[in-house]
């Protein structure tokens, strides 16, 4: 599996969970709590893979535009990890605030994923050879397995 396919698979998993959590009501406390924990765990592993492996390879292969996109993507991760997610984790799952914050998280991640898939990944597929993407994907898959096992 190449690096882009691995990241796209992760995106689909997270988007599916975000759809599930936004479809819940204030009464679904356990479902919301469980889904949020899964989303948080998935995002932690995913952003680690992107920031430590994929983004640096992309930035190194590219020029000024790729460097700019690299920094924008890292900043979007920071906004989710340091601002939106911590607030959401402190919000009561049976509240309307929770629903609103989940919607904001979903919109931020949908925007981020769309940019990555339509711009960054397309660009990376031209900048990096199939062999480079496969090697990177293999390393990322091993790391992903290890990170998920550490939980």
Q: DSSP for 44-68, please give it.
A: HHHHHHIIIIIHHHHHHHS-HHHHH
Provide the pLDDT confidence category of residue 63 given band limits of 50, 70 and 90. very high
Range of the domain at 57: 3-150
CATH number for the domain including 128?
A: 1.20.120.520
Residue 33 has pLDDT above 90, yes or no: yes
Residue 15 has pLDDT above 90, yes or no: yes
Residues contacting residue 26 through CB under 8 Å, at least 6 positions apart: 93, 94, 95, 96, 98, 99
pTM value is: 0.94
Cα–Cα distance measured from residue 20 to residue 146, given in angstroms and rounded to the nearest whole number:
27
Provide the pLDDT confidence category of residue 1 given band limits of 50, 70 and 90. confident
Angle ∠(129,9,47) on CA atoms, nearest 5: 80
Q: Name the domain count of the chain.
A: 1
């Amino acid at each position: 599996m190449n690096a882009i396919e691995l990241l796209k698979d992760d995106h689909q998993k997270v988007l599916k969970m975000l759809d599930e959590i936004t479809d819940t009501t204030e009464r679904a406390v356990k479902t919301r709590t469980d889904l949020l924990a899964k989303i948080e765990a998935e995002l932690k592993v995913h952003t680690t893979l992107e920031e430590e492996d994929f983004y640096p390879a992309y930035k190194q292969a590219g020029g000024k535009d790729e460097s700019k996109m690299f920094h924008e993507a890292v900043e979007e991760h920071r906004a989710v990890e340091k601002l939106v997610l911590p607030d959401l984790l402190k919000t009561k799952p049976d509240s309307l605030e929770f629903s609103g914050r989940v919607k904001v998280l979903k919109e931020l991640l949908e925007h981020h994923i769309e940019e990555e898939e339509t711009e960054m990944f397309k660009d990376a597929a031209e900048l990096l050879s199939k062999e480079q993407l496969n090697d990177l994907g293999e390393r990322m898959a091993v790391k992903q397995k290890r990170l998920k096992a550490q939980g």
